[in-house]
Amino acid sequence: MTQTRYAFIKAQWHKDIVDKALDGFCELIPPAQVDVVDVPGAFELPLMARDMAASGRYAAVACAALVVDGGIYRHDFVAQAVVDGLMRAGLDSGVPVLSVSLTPHHFQETPHHMAIYEAHFVQKGREAAEAALGIVAARQALTRQAA
Closest CA to 55 of 7, 2, 1, 4: 7
Annotated catalytic residue: which of 74, 88, 126, 139? 74
Amino acid making up residue 99: S
Task: Delimit the domains of the chain by residue range.
Answer: 6-146
* 6-146: CATH number: 3.40.50.960
Which amino acid belongs to residue 124? K
Q: What is the pLDDT of residues 32-76, one digit of tens each?
A: 999 999 999 999 999 999 999 999 999 999 999 988 765 555 666
Question: In the chain, what's the furthest Cα-to-Cα distance?
Answer: 55
Which pTM was predicted?
0.90
- The yes-or-no answer on residue 139 being catalytic is no
Identify which has the larger pLDDT, 139 or 53.
Answer: 53
Rounded Cα distance between 66 and 117, Å, is: 9
- The percentage of the chain sitting over the pLDDT mark of 70, rounded to a whole number, equals 89
60-66 and 6-11: which strand pairing? parallel
